[in-house]
Amino acid sequence: MTESTRLSARKSAAVARGVATRGIFAIRAENAELWDAEGRRFLDFAAGIAVNNTGHRHPRIMAAVAAQAQAFTHTCFHVAPYEGYIALAERLNAATPGTFPKKTMLVTTGAEAVENAVKMARAFTGRSGVISFSGAFHGRTLLGMALTGKVAPYKKGFGAMPPEIVHAPFPNAFHGVTEAEALGHLERLFASSVDPERIAAIIIEPVQGEGGFNIAPFGFLRALREICDRHGIVLIADEVQAGMARTGRMFGFDHSGVAPDLVTMAKGLAGGFPLSAVTGRAEIVDAPNPGGVGGTYAGNPLAVAASHAVLDVIADEELCTRAEAIGEIIRARLAQIAARQGMECIGDVRGLGAMNALELVTDRTSNAPDAALTAAIVAEAEARGLILLSCGTRYNVIRLLPPLTIPMAQLDEALAILESALEAAVMKISA
C-alpha cells in the first residue's frame, strides 16, 4: 500500500465527505512545482486555485512572514491594531480602480469579503436586493451560494436560499448570449420582476471562475456602470480569482476603463496565507456602524505581512506584464492544437492574461458539452505530472492557472504534457 493510499483511507475516515479532494497528497512545493507523498513531481497549473500567483513559497513572502512571526502572530485588530494592516489598506486603496476616496477592510476568505461588501451596499443604500449572474461563483457561505449561479455542487441539498437574490444572464457569445441580449434581459427584469429601487448591489466577476473562465465584455461592464449610476445601485467587482495581476492587469476591471464601487479580493492577495479584502468608495465602506464588520482573524498579521510582499513582488518582477506573456503563449499553443485534425473536441479557447481555458465539446456544430472527455483529460494530465482543474456550469472547461512566476521552460513542459493528455484522452474516449 502506498503512502497516498494510506492517507486517502485516513481522509475518508476522518474528513467530512463534502470536502472534495484530489488524490495528490502534497509534501513539498516550490514555485510552479509540487511533490506528493510518493515523491512524484507535478507542474502545478492550479496554483491553489489562483492563490499562488507568486508561486509556492516565494522567498520574499517567506522572509516577510518569518520576520512578522518574530514580533507577534495575532492580537486581533479590534483589540490591538497594528501598522501593517493600516499600510496594506493604504496600498489597496491606491491600487484598485478609481480615483475617488477609498477605504479598506480586511477579512480572511473570499466569501467573507463578498458578504461584507453586500452588507456595506445594503447599509449605504437602505435596500436589500442583489443581482448576480448565471455561472457566477461568490462562495460557499449561505449568502455566497445564493449569489452563486451554479447549482451542483454548491447549492444542491442545502434548502432554501436567502431572499431578494436575482440572477441575470451573463453575456457569453459561445453559449449564444450576446452582450445586447444580456443587457436587454436586465432592463426587462427591472420593468417586470424587480424594482431597481429595491436593489442594493449588482455583483459580477470580470472573468468568471467556477463558471468557466467566461470573460465579461468590457462594454458590458461599462454598461453596468451606467445602469448602477442611473438607479443608485452599488457595483461590486468580485476580483477574488481574477485579481492580483492574473489577467495582465492588477484587477480584471482595469481592462474596462470603469471603476466599480467596491472590489472584493482574496486568493492571490497573500500568496498562500488566508487574507481577503473589501476596498471601495469611502462613504460606502463606512456605511456600517462600528463593530458591524470585521472578525477575530480578520487581517491576521502574518497574512498582512505576506500581502505586502506579494504587492512588492508583483511590482518588482512585473507580473502583470509576465501574465500577458504567459497568456499569449498558452493561447497560441491551444489554438495550434485545436486546429489539428482530430481535435474538433476543442470548441473554444479563451483567456485574459494568464487566466485561460479550453472548452470541450462533442462537436463544433452543436457545441454540446463533453464532460466525460474533460474529466479524462484532467486525469491523463495528472498521470503525466500536470495538475489541472476543470470548471464550468456544464463541467466541460479546463482552466489553466500557472503561477505568474513559472520558468518558461516549465511552461513549455506543461503545455507539452497537456497536449499529450489531450491526445490520449481523445483516443480512449473514441475507442
Are residues 233 and 361 part of one domain? no
pLDDT of amino acid 415: 98
| pLDDT, position 352 | 98
Kindly tell me if the per-residue pLDDT of 431 is higher than 80: no
pTM of structure: 0.97
Residues 142, 249: one domain? yes
Which pLDDT band holds residue 170 (cuts at 50, 70, 90)?
A: very high
**Which domain-ending residue is among 295, 316, 337?**
316
Query: In this structure, are 300 and 375 located in the same domain?
Result: no
Mark whether 351 and 203 lie in a shared domain: no
Whether 177 and 232 share a structural domain: yes
**Which structural domain, as residue segments, surrounds residue 81?**
72-316
pLDDT band at 107 (very low <50, low <70, confident <90, very high): very high
Partnered with residue 167 across adjacent β-strands are 132
pLDDT of residue 378: 98
Residues 304 and 328 in one domain: no
The pLDDT score that the predictor gives to residue 1 is: 84
Q: What's the residue count for the chain?
A: 431
- CATH number, position 419: 3.90.1150.10
Residue 117 lies in a domain: yes
Whether pLDDT at 375 is above 80: yes
Among 281, 316, 351, the domain boundary falls at 316
With bands split at pLDDT 50, 70 and 90, how would you rate the model's confidence at 152?
A: confident
The answer to the question of residue 329 being in a domain is yes
**What does the H/E/C string look like for the chain?**
CCHHHHHHHHHHHHCCCCCCCCCCCEEEEEECEEEECCCCEEEECCHHHHCCCCCECCHHHHHHHHHHHHHCCCCCCCCCCCHHHHHHHHHHHHHCCCCCCEEEEEECCHHHHHHHHHHHHHHHHCCCEEEEECCCCCCCCHHHHHHCCCCCCCCCCCCCCCCCEEEECCCEHHHCECHHHHHHHHHHHHHHCCCHHHEEEEEECCECCCCCCCECCHHHHHHHHHHHHHHCCEEEEECCCCCCCCCCCCCHHHHCCCCCCEEEECHHHHCCCCCEEEEEEHHHHCCCCCCCCCCCCCCCHHHHHHHHHHHHHHHHCCHHHHHHHHHHHHHHHHHHHHCCCCCCCEEEEEEECCEEEEEEECCCCCCCECHHHHHHHHHHHHHCCEECEEECCCCCEEEECCCCCCCHHHHHHHHHHHHHHHHHHHHHHHC
260 shares a domain with 130: yes
Average pLDDT over residues 179-200: 96
Q: For residue 63, is it within any domain?
A: no
Is 65 domain-assigned?
Answer: no
pLDDT in tens, 128-144: 999 999 999 999 999 99
* 416: in domain: yes
The reported pLDDT for the residue numbered 215 is 98
Domain boundary among 278, 293, 316: 316
Within a domain: 347: yes
The letter for the amino acid at 210 is: E
* Residues 290 and 331 both lie in one domain: no
**Residue corresponding to grid cell 432554501:** 160
Same domain, 277 and 207: yes
Residue 157 neighbours by CB distance under 10 Å = 8
Q: Which strands form 397-400's sheet, in the order they lie side by side?
A: 346-352, 355-360, 397-400, 389-391
**Residue 66, in any domain of the structure:** no
Q: Say how many Å lie between the first and final Cα of the chain, rounded.
A: 31
User: Would you say residue 312 has pLDDT above 90?
Assistant: yes
Percent of the chain with pLDDT over 90: 96
- Would the pLDDT of 271 be above 80? yes
- Give the position of cell 481574477: 242
The answer to whether residue 389 scores a pLDDT higher than 80 is: yes
The total number of structural domains in the chain stands at 2
* Residue 253 amino acid letter: F
Q: In whole numbers, what is the pLDDT of the chain averaged over residues?
A: 97
Grid coordinates representing 68? Answer: 512578522
Same-domain pairing of 309 and 265: yes
User: In terms of domains, do 301 and 392 share one?
Assistant: no
* pLDDT at position 160 over 90: no
Q: Is there a single domain that holds both residue 206 and residue 146?
A: yes
For residue 269, the model assigns a pLDDT of: 98
Query: Residue 429 — pLDDT band, cuts 50, 70, 90?
Result: confident
Kindly state whether residue 67 falls inside one of the protein's structural domains.
no
